[in-house]
Each structure stands twice: as structure tokens, then as C-alpha cells.
Structure 1
Amino acid sequence: SYLWQIPLTIAVGNTSHISSETIIWVSNKSEHHRIPALEEASWLLGNINQTGYFRVNYDIRNWRLLINQLTRNHEVISVSNRAGLIDDAFNLARAGYLPQNIPLEIIKYLSEEKDFLPWHAASRALYPLDKSLDRTENYNIFNEYILRQVASMYLKLGWPTNNLNKSLVQASYQHEELRREVIMLACSFGNKHCHQQAATLISDWISSNRNRIPLNVRDIVYCTGVSLMDEDVWEFIWMKFHSTTAVSEKKILLEALTCSDDRNLLNRLLNLSLNSEVVLDQDAIDVIIHVARNPHGRDLAWKFFREKWKILNARYGEALFMNSKLISGVTEFLNTEEELRELKNFIKSYEGGAAASFSRAMETVEANVRWQRLYKEELFQWLRKSLTH
């Protein structure tokens, strides 16, 4: 095996500025480097501008100083490092290297964040945490906390609008991507205005048969509409899925169908996915995976996967990537002791290949169950205190 020297860039900062970076060359698995004593209000930042492919952890005092800096004047820290702090904190907490509240405290500053990258990092990091909690009885506490962090920026940015000539008002690409990210978070976590807007856009499409929904938020609107509205909307989206010839639109419509809260519709879609004349073989995998990502359908997709394994394995077994994608996607967010037992029993009894994929799935589910056991209540206790202050 090889050991590579890793350049770790560090800088010291305070409330008004950050120093020029210094490089420390890390040559061994474990090293100690002495850094000159810092002033009381100064903080240390590692991996300047996120040029290194690794995570950086700090002692709790330094994390607190960085959180305070983000709250008081986040622009002292570069955009890429702000995104990096968010990403590192969530992933380190997930692995148990940080208290669960630290990443949630970091994102409190986002109401003042106008750059896309930190919002994108937060959205991407919140996704697996949301999936860890979305079937718990206290999920509404987490949901409310995230809504509070998103609310003010959602109000500032609003939705893409039309001018008198009915053409989309153009903004910078970064601004539109930021707006999309915030709308996605707002609708996903149940912002009432976001839900109303999505329902209005869907209703207008149905009544006029003209799709005036801005292209870059169509997936959000379709999914939100299907989850909120009645079976007629699901049937409308299903009809549009069959009638459209645009590949990208077809994909968005099919994924939207998996967003329903109606378990009967989700079961119907799962069964339809086995019919190659209705859903293409390569798209059927996405149907099953997206139903598994829906808290109302996770157990349905998991049951369907086990019951139809022989059919699925016969269809995708030769295509190792497809089979691996399916196994990973269906099991990725299983996190109860019962689901872990079911996975173990299934692996013992199944026939066919994909042993490596099932081994990785077992590791993932074991880690999910461990996180629930060790950290879930810690997270909820902090959230309860935070929401009452």
C-alpha cells in the first residue's frame, strides 16, 4: 500500500478578516502539528477553498466560533468553505464524530446566504437526514425547524414569474438555481405558500391544458401536486406520461407519480412497472427506487422487491450496474431493527448473484439502525429546546 503526502491548508480568522493560508504537509496516518496560540475570538479554518478531497473536524469550541462567524458576517469565509463547513458538519455528525446539533446550528445563518453553493450543500446534506427521520413519530419537530430556516429566503426569492408578454423573466443562472433549491426545500418540508403555488400551477395546467409551469421547477411542482392533490391529478400525470414523447419530461412525470401519499396508487405503480409495454425496463428501476424514497411507500417497495426478486433478478441480473442500483436504492433508507432482520433473512434465502451489492446494503442498513439507536433521541431533544427558545 502507498501513503501519499496530503497538503492541508489552514488559515486563522476573526469577526472581520481571515489571514493568508498556510500549508501543512501530512505524511503519516496520524500526526501532531503545533499551531501558534489563537486569540480568544479567533478561529481556525482548514482546507481553504475546499481544494482537498477530505473532511475537516474541529474541537467544539472552534465549531462554535465558526458558527458565530457565519451568523455575524458569513462573507469573511469564502463561499466554497461555507458550503464545505455545512457538508463536513452533517457528514461528521452522521458518523458520530460531532454532536447532532452542530450541523443544524450551522444552517441557522442561511436566511442571510445569497449564494447557491451553501444552499445546495445544505439541501444535499439534509436529504439523508430527512430520510432517517421521515417515519418517526417526532418528525414534525425536525420538519418545523427546517421550515424556519428556509422561510425568509423563500419569501425573498419567490417563484419564477411571467411578464406581460408571458415570457419567463430572466435572471442569472446562479440566482435561478438558488431559487430552485429554496423552492424545493420549502415544498419538501411543507411550506404552505409553496404547496398552494404548486397546486395552483397544476390546476391551471389541467383546466387550460397548457403547461405554463417554469421548466426548472417542473419536477418540484409535479411531485408536490401529486402528493397533495386527489387521484384525478395522479391520473392526469399518468396520462401525460404516456402521451409525451420528450424523454426528459417523461422521466420527470414518472418520478412525480411516485410522490403520492396514496398507498394504493403506489402499489398500483409498482405492479405496472413490471409491464415492459407500460414502463420501460430501465425506467422500472427508478419507479421502485423512488417509491422506496417516499415514506408512505418505503415498506411497499421493500416488500415488492422481495416478493418479485426472481422476476427482477431475471430482468436485470446480467446488468450488474442495474442490479446494484436497484438493491442499493431499495435498501438505502431502511432503518428499523425489523427491516434489518428482514434483509438478513432475505439474503440467506435468495437465489442469484449480486452478493457484493447485498453485502454493501447490509452495511448501510446496519449503520442506519445504529444511528437511530445512538443519535435520534439526542437530535430530537436538541430540536425541542431550540424550537421553544
Structure 2
Amino acid sequence: YLEANSWGTGSSQLFFSQLGKIGPWQATDFADRWFRQPNYPVLEISILNSSNQNFYLNVQQSRFINTNDSVFGSESIYPSPYNWTWYIPLNCIFFVNGSSIHQQKFYIGTQKYSELIDDGKTEYDFFHCDINFSGYFSLNYPHENWIAISEALNDQESVFIPVDRSNIIHNLFMNAFTSRLPYKELTQTLIYLIAEREYLPWKTVNFHLSQMISILEYKEPFFEVASYFDYFLRTIENEVDLWNPGGNHVEELYKETILKTACLLQDSFCLKNASFLWEKYRPYLTDTMVNNTFPSYVKKLVFNYHLQNTYFAEDWNLVYSEYSKIDDLSEREKLLEALTYTRLPWFLEIYLQRLEDDLINFFDKIKFLSKNCLGREYAWNYIRANYDNLLEEFGLDDPRLGQMVIDVSSTFETESLNYELLNFITSTPNGASLNARYRALEKVSINLLWLRKKSQEIMEAFGSPRKNIFI
């Protein structure tokens, strides 16, 4: 495409014509299915033993939405010109006795699809699709296939490469969140994490846990979720020197992810070590002649979680002083984020007062503050009290105002906060933020429904394996 159009302007039609075909489909038709339909597909996949004793892969695709109550789930807002049917290349791998014996690519072009697996004569123990995590879609399997995958992981996790283990974890979390699977199935499979020492699977765990904990942090299920993962994390902490640099960049990313997950779950060892290392790091802030030997990922964790748990005003002021002096934008952002981790309200008051004096990167400052459950309340009150001034400063049509509302409200989990959001939206002008405001309302309603329906299930699912297996 670049050679054919080296002196031209960007042209999607020319780009697709250069691509030619994707599988059996014209590239233009393939792209249309993905660009002109909102959301993405979820595939329900199973193996069917037909009446002629041949084995087929059965696939049924539909639109993935978090909840059927979604206002954006309505066809009247975002209709589909293709009746929620995507063109999907699907790579699957099939296993017998724990070993991979067949790999096959399928081209899914209809809502219901069936194709012979190889010659159709082999009965497989289990299968996994979307190998190498290359597809932009979600997957679900029958219960017995999930059980077989779980057993294979627990027997020997290397039966799947790290990126496929990451894919399995992602789909388990997504299916549990949307009630396609019970959380118990998720926790039974994740027991294999006791042996997981690769970066990508833990990165996926951290991503989904961060979303869960942002809503559960002050709720009853938090203890069970944190206790469940504590066993895995403590085992890794005892085996791996997480706080010191070493290994290649992927190994350092793995260490960072384990520590981020442990501190996120308020692991006592992680939090105590963060404050212990703060005392070693303090000289680097007070004496510019002292060289900093801490790896960057350790520095960020130490700053964030020490400030979360300290009661010393001097420490917070020291970080703020460093933030005010430093020119490096990346370092300034890290220090700004650390300042918002404090759980002490008077520091958050100071943060907001100084925010009014410096509106540069205003939306980033609000976003960081909103990640702190206590800071979220301050940010929300500040926005409501100063919204007219913000409109005057940034303009009604600045889309960042809508994203700001999403950032602050995305973890709202009570009826009173939902009412406050609704009242704010109905009493202030929309401007360019109408859809963002709808999304904010939708996210809060999903949070409330999820908590109402899933809290007890989460406590039982994360509590039972820990009690029955770990102890």
C-alpha cells in the first residue's frame, strides 16, 4: 500500500484493495463488518458429535455487551447493518491426553457455523481457540471444556504458552462478569497460578483485579478476593527477589506486576516493604548529590503505597516539593499520581487547592485523584461545585469534560452516588459530552447490578478454594 501510494494521501479504499482478501473475504467487506458494528463478538464454541459419528466444531456468535440492561444495547441507538454478524478467522488447537494433536483455522461468517474437525473421526478431550490471543473477540466454552482446561493447567501449565494462558484468564473473568460462567469456575481454574511465573498471565490477572477492586475495595467481598490471591503472591514473594532489579526487561515487568497486584490487594508484606524502602529512598529527595539506584518500578510502588499508608505530613510535602521542581514530564506524572494515593483528607484538600492555581494537566490530576476511593469523593464534590467555572475555562464542547465525568464516576457503587450523577447530568448542559454522560450512567448502573447480583457469589467462590485447598 505504501509503495503504491507513496506520494498520495491516505485512502482506506486503496489500502483494502492492496490487501486483497482476508481469508475467503474481500478486505473491504471484512473491515465493514468490524468498523460499522459497535462492540465486538462473543463466540460460544463447542464440539458436536453428529449422527454420522463425525466431530464438528460448532460456533455461535453474538454481540458482546456487559449487560442486557445497557442503554447502548438498544438497536435504536447503534443499529447493526449486518445483524451482529462479524467475519472472524479463528485458530483452534485440539488435545488428546494432554497433548496437542491437531490445529485448524476456521473462517466464521455466519451467526451459526459448523465445520468438520480434520477428518471428523477423532474424539478430542478438550480444545482452545484464538491461539496466540490474536482475535478481538470473547470466547466461551461448555462447562466440561473449561474443566478440562483447568485440569490441564493445574497438571502442567506449560501445555499452553503464556499468551494463551493469558487469553484463558481474560475470557474466564469476562464470562464471570457477564454471568456466562459462575465465579467458582474462575477460581477453580486460577488455582494453577501457584506455579505461574510468566509476565503476561499475571498482567491479565492484574488488569481484571484492578477493575474488580476499584468497586469492591470497601465492600465485604474484598477480604475473600484478597485472601484468595494472598497465597499465590506470598509464595512468589518467598521465591523471587521482587524488589531488586535483575533479569531482562520482561522479567522486570513480571516483578512489577506481582508487586502491583500484591499492594493493590493490601498485602501486608508489600505495604511494609514499601514504607521500609521509603526510608532508604528519602536521601535521594533531600540530597541531589546522592545517586538514585532504585529501579523505576520499585520507586513508583514505594512512593504510591508509602504515601497511602503514612501519617507524616513531611513525607507528602517532600514528594510535592519534588513534583514542583522536576522538569521531566514522565517523572512529574509519577509523582503527581503518588500524591493522590494518600488516605488523609487534609492532604487531598491541599491537592485540590493547589489544583485551582495550576490548571495545566487538569484532567490528568482529576483522573489520578479519582482512583483513590476517598479522593474520588473530593474530585466529585469539586467538579459539581466548580462546573460553571470549568465550562468557562475549557468550553462546553471540550470532550475532556465528558471523559472527566466517566473517570470520576466509573467506580460509583451506591444508589446515592448514582442519584447524584443523574442529578448532575440533568442539571448541567451536555455540549460535546452527551454520549460520555450516557456511558457514565450506564457504568454506574452496571456496577450496582453487579454488586447486587454477584457479591455473595464472589465471597463463596473466592472463599471456598482457599478454605478447601490452600489451608
* TM superposition score normalised by structure 2: 0.75
Partners in 2 of 1:200 and 1:60 — Cα distance? 46
Query: 3-state DSSP class of the match of 2:100?
Result: coil
Higher deviation after alignment, 180-189 or 318-327: 318-327
Give the partner amino acid of 2:210: Y
* Amino acid aligned to 1:315: E
Which residue identity is paired with 1:249? Answer: E
C-alpha distance after superposition, 1:158-210 (max 9, x if no partner): 2343xxxxxxx542111111111111112222223322221122112224634
Judge conservation of contact 1:9–1:22 (CA < 8 Å) in 2.
yes
Counterpart check, 1:48 vs 2:131 = yes
| Secondary structure in structure 1 of the residue aligned to 2:90 | strand
1:199 is aligned, of 265, 270, 275, to 275
Considering only aligned residues, what root-mean-square deviation do their CA atoms show, in Å?
2.2
Q: What aligned pairs does 1:1-389 form with structure 2 within 5 A after superposition?
A: 1-2=81-82, 3-14=85-96, 16-33=98-115, 42-161=125-244, 170-207=246-283, 209=286, 210=290, 211-230=292-311, 231-276=313-358, 280-282=359-361, 284-317=362-395, 320-353=398-431, 354-389=433-468
**Alpha-carbon spacing, 1:149–1:310, altered in 2? closer, same or farther (3 Å):** farther
Q: 1:304 to 1:19 in 2, by over 3 A?
A: farther
Q: Secondary structure at the match of 1:308?
A: helix
The verdict on how the C-alpha distance between 1:158 and 1:202 changes in structure 2, with shifts beyond 3 A counting, is same
Query: Residue deviations 1:225-274, cap 9 Å, x none?
Result: 10111222111111111121221111101100111111222233123212
Deviation at 1:311, TM superposition (A): 2.2
What secondary structure, in the 3-state scheme, does the structure 2 residue paired with 1:19 have?
strand
Are the equivalent residues in 1 in contact too, given 2:221–2:455 (CA < 8 A)? no
Q: CA deviation at 1:39?
A: 5.4
Consecutive unaligned residues in structure 2, runs of 5 or more? 1-80
The answer to which structure has the higher helix fraction is 1
SS in 2 for 1:296: helix
Letter of the aligned partner of 2:282 in structure 1?
A: I
Change (3 A) 1:235 1:15: farther
Name the SS for the 1:175 alignment partner.
helix
Which string of whole-angstrom CA distances, capped at 9 and with x for unpartnered residues, describes residues 138-175 of structure 1?
422222112222221222222343xxxxxxx5421111
TM norm structure 1: 0.90
Shift of 1:14: 4.3
8 Å CA contact retained: 1:305, 1:330 = no
8 Å CA contact 1:147–1:186 kept in 2: the answer is yes
Measured after TM superposition, the shift of residue 352 of structure 1 is 4.6
Percent identity, please.
22
Q: Aligned letter for 1:141?
A: E
User: Structure 1 regions of 5+ residues with no counterpart?
Assistant: 162-168
Provide the rounded CA distance (Å) in 2 between the counterparts of 1:181 and 1:15.
Answer: 33
Q: Deviations over 1:205-231 (max 9, x none)?
A: 224634443213222111011011122
Q: Which has the higher strand share?
A: 2
- Aligned residue pairs total 377
